[in-house]
A and B are shown apart, each in its own frame.
Chain A
Amino acid sequence: MGFGQFLSAPETKLRIVTYRDVFQDSAKVASIFGEDYEKLSAVIKLDPQDISKLSIKEGDTLILKNSFGKVIVKALNSGYDHSHTGTAYMVNSPWSNALVPEDSGGTGVPDFKDFEVLASSAKGGKVTGIKEII
């Protein structure tokens, strides 16, 4: 355990937008409990500036939390050519759904594609497993 374990990790507020991915979706069809599905689902795609702000490297794990849930996922560089600081992308999955606000304002449609989380380094913590989510 390094000295860094005792320092508080910087926290950043992120707006999450979800999307679909055919590779992740196919892995789900094969087995929602499989390693491939977890590997392709438990990720967040960030702007490089947000990666710096969080004092992490690409591939490190991040804690994402809000008042509805908390998950640990792997941080990736989005690779988009436009800047999207403060907005991050997650593939639609039980990991993103663990953080989606339950209040639908009476409409019956939660904000699956637009919600906020607080992100901080998981300091090497393991990605949340599917069975921990349910």
Chain B
Amino acid sequence: MENDYYVCTGCALLCDDIGVELEGGKLNKVHTACRKGFAFMKGCTNPMECAVNGERTDIDSAIKEAASILRNAERPLIFGHANSSSGAQKKAIDIARKTNGFIDDTSSFCQGPMVEAIMEGKLKTCTLDDVRHKADVIIYWGADPANSHPRHMSRYSYFPRGKERQRGWEEDRTAITIDVRKSDTAEICGQNGFYQIPVKGDAEFMDAMVSALSGKIPKTSYDLDKKKLLELASILKKAKFGVIFAGLGMVYALDDREPLYKLMDKLNSVSNFHLIPMAGHYNMRGFNENLFEETGYINRVKFSGEEVLHGPEYSVVEALRQKAVDAALVIGADPLSSLPRSVVRYLEEIPLIVIDPCHTLTSVKANVTIPCGLVGVETGGSAVRMDGIEIEVKQIVDTDRLSDEEIMTRISEAL
């Protein structure tokens, strides 16, 4: 085995304890990674080819064609970025600026609201290392890390024996799941640690928790075990270091963040609570931070000369629905897989460029496909973990494919 550890880019945990074995310059074995990380690092069975209008071509011609499409567009969309290195993301922002384009990422229909609130200082947060060493009450809210981030509970949030949690999950930690169904994570938390709520019942549950924490009788329009909720309030009040992992179940259920702000304020008036968004893709948070640094916004931006426009009308969903863009470059994402079919149908009507290591549903419809190296295996770079910690990612094997950052640099230069 190589005497070195590598970073898995399979999800936003960016586990940095991955062992590998090489054979003939190729990755032969992957140790420590979860099922998803292993699949990611081993690489897909359908690598993407370099092609223009379905005809295989060389990288120079593909980059030239991509630049031509973007140059001729009046309002291109530069979308994706969640599975891209930070270097490639910064170049994508340059390209959007140069072309007066829209730029958005997957956080736009995912964890954007939570990341935005954290970056604006509206929600108290902490690192996963803090959780590992200190957390005694852990809430998975609308989140199922057993499936979405398989090493989350074992590496950071529940099972580890941290510096201040030497007795581990058996005595030192209490795990709670709040969800609309009994997920695999809820099974781990046990019957006493599972609070089932109706679909979109999250805001009311938050209000009820605030009441219970204030010593009042909690009320909801749906059936709720008031005694169990008062017991929960008692557990939360006694927490020395609490953390809420906010999943998409919570994000999608809230029409606005006020109920969450009220709950976090209340929790922090009686104990000590933090929130970490369960970002899925390995560098979604990185894109949010990179764009925020450049523009003051984490996503949904349109450049217009010196002006930076921002709002839901510049989101990928609304831009495609309203047919507001006239070309698209997709990197590190697969909108045809992850967005409603009725929304992404418009991508077939405009010139489309896809940059990815593998064939995707979106690449099937692309005019230009440019394969890049798989970040974390074939190329290095940096990325930002779900808790905002920057992680350096090393290359493991050689490749003749360009990195995502090199491709974006060359497209930017060709503009």
Q: A residues within 8 Å of B by Cβ?
A: 15, 17, 19-23, 25-34, 68-69, 80-82, 84, 87, 89, 93-94, 97-98, 100-102, 104, 106-114, 130, 133-134
Q: Is the CB of B339 within 8 A of A97?
A: yes
Closest approach, in angstroms, between the C-beta of A90 and any C-beta of chain B? Answer: 12
A68 touches B341 (CB 8 A): yes
State the 10 A-B residue pairs at the shortest beta-carbon distance, nearest first.
A108-B315, A102-B342, A100-B340, A29-B39, A26-B39, A108-B312, A22-B147, A98-B341, A31-B45, A108-B317
Interface residues of B (CB under 8 A from A): 10, 34-36, 38-40, 42, 44-46, 108-109, 144, 146-148, 150, 180-183, 196, 199-200, 248-249, 252-253, 300, 312-313, 315-318, 321, 334, 336-343, 358-361, 364-365
Closest chain A residue to B183 by CB distance?
A19
A80, closest chain B residue (CB): B182
**Would B34 and A108 count as touching, CB distance under 8 A?**
no
Q: Which of B34, B181, B318, B359 contacts A19 (CB 8 A)?
A: B181
- CB neighbours (8 Å) of B108 from chain A are 108-109
Residues of A within 8 A of B249 (CB): 113
Residue on A nearest B280 in the bound complex, by CB: A20
24 interchain pairs, CB-CB under 8 A: A20-B144, A20-B147, A22-B36, A22-B146, A22-B148, A22-B150, A25-B147, A26-B39, A27-B39, A30-B42, A30-B45, A31-B44, A32-B46, A33-B359, A34-B45, A80-B182, A82-B182, A89-B181, A94-B361, A100-B341, A104-B318, A109-B108, A113-B199, A113-B248
> When the two chains form their complex, are residues A110 and B337 in contact, meaning their CB atoms are under 8 A apart?
no
Taking A29-B36, A30-B39 as contacts, is the C-beta distance between A87 and B317 under 8 angstroms? Answer: no
A94 touches B341 (CB 8 A): yes
When distances are taken between beta carbons in the complex, the residues of chain A under 8 Å from B300 are 108
Contact B109 A112 (CB under 8 A): yes
Does B337 contact A94, Cβ atoms closer than 8 Å? yes
Contact pick for B180, options A17, A23, A97, A130, CB 8 Å: A17
Looking at A32, A111, A130, which has the most chain B CB atoms within 10 Å of its CB? A32
Question: Which listed residue, B146, B340, B359, touches A102 by the CB 8 Å rule?
Answer: B340
Q: Which chain B residue shows the least CB distance to A45?
A: B181
What's the Cα separation between A41 and B46 when bound, in Å? 19
Pick the most buried of A26, A29, A133: most chain B CB atoms within 10 A of its CB.
Answer: A29
B226 CB to nearest chain A CB (Å): 19
Task: Name the one of B40, B317, B338, B365 contacting A104, with C-beta atoms under 8 angstroms.
Answer: B317
